[in-house]
């Protein structure tokens, strides 16, 4: 079986497990809906563009923690030994990254929908904002997938996800907020978009590279 086929099989396995545990998926949707609805009740009026943008990315962070951070913590040691006999560590981590990206992108689209329903949609350039949201979802899922893998090898210590992820997530969130602000502006600054996008893509590439290099050592532990 080729590398691509093994990665595809591992992704399919994660999809099937997620479908069997539908209560988790619907619980995440309920979490998104209830959080945004509480914000709607707490605010007297529709939030301004800057407030809307800040709330969106803060909620995306918590959605990512609840969606992606559990990806390795729910695998038992016996199951990991079984995976060890089927695939290489690089294939396994790439499959996890791909699955978590798609899962978080679904949650991101659902989040945007609930924001639109309850808090309005003050975005001037919707297409640009959607692209930035997709890019942000990919970035957040990559970081927390790697953090989850490290925490899982530290006797499933979930607190390590927050400790290790904070120095990376904070500048990433600031970059995403700054980049998404351009979608609310009447005048579109193309140069600034490409510069910030390049930085974020560079960080994503760095996280993927670190995952490919570090995970084989975690895998052998």
Residue ranges covered by each domain of the chain = 3-220
- Residue 110, pLDDT > 90, answer yes
The answer to whether the beta carbons of residues 125 and 85 sit under 8 Å apart is no
Q: What's the confidence (pLDDT) of residue 36?
A: 93
- Residue 156, pLDDT > 60, answer no
**Range with lowest mean pLDDT among 115-124, 169-178, 180-189:** 180-189
Distance (Å, rounded) from C-alpha 113 to C-alpha 86?
39
Q: Quickly list H helices, 87-189.
A: 89-119, 126-152, 159-181
What is the percentage of the chain residues whose pLDDT exceeds 70?
85
**Buried-state track 90-118, b at ≥16 Cβ within 10 A, e below 16:** bbbbbbbbbbbbebbbebbebbbebbeeb
Which of the given ranges, 41-45, 63-67, 108-112, has the highest pLDDT on average?
A: 108-112
Distance (Å, rounded) from C-alpha 16 to C-alpha 136?
25
Confidence band, pLDDT 50/70/90 cuts, at residue 186: low
List pLDDT tens digits, range 125-143.
888 889 899 999 999 999 8
pTM metric for this prediction = 0.88
Q: What's the confidence (pLDDT) of residue 188?
A: 60
The answer to whether the beta carbons of residues 32 and 63 sit under 8 Å apart is yes
CA distance between the termini of the chain: 26
Confidence band, pLDDT 50/70/90 cuts, at residue 3: confident
Mean pLDDT, rounded, for 23-38: 89
Q: What's the confidence (pLDDT) of residue 46?
A: 81
For the CA atoms of the chain, what is the radius of gyration? 18
Confidence band, pLDDT 50/70/90 cuts, at residue 221: low
Q: What's the confidence (pLDDT) of residue 75?
A: 64
Confidence band, pLDDT 50/70/90 cuts, at residue 154: low
């Amino acid at each position: 079986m080729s590398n691509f086929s093994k990665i595809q099989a591992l992704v399919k396995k994660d999809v099937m497990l997620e479908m069997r545990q539908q209560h988790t998926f619907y619980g995440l949707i309920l979490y998104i809906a209830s959080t945004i609805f509480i914000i709607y009740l707490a605010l007297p009026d529709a939030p301004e563009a800057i407030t809307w943008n800040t709330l969106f990315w803060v909620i995306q962070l918590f959605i990512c923690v609840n969606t992606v951070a559990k990806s390795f913590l729910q695998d038992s040691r016996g199951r990991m030994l079984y995976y060890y006999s089927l695939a290489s560590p690089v294939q396994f981590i790439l499959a996890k990254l791909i699955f978590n990206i798609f899962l978080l992108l679904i949650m991101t689209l659902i989040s945007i929908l609930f924001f639109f329903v309850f808090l309005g949609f003050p975005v001037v350039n919707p297409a640009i904002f959607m692209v930035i949201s997709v890019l942000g979802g990919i970035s957040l899922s990559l970081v927390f997938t790697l953090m989850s893998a490290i925490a899982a090898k530290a006797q499933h210590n979930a607190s390590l996800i927050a400790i290790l992820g904070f120095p990376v997530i904070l500048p990433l969130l600031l970059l995403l907020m700054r980049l998404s602000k351009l979608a609310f502006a009447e005048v579109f600054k193309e140069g600034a978009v490409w510069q910030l996008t390049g930085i974020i893509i560079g960080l994503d590439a760095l996280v993927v590279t670190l995952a490919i290099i570090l995970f084989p050592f975690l895998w052998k532990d």
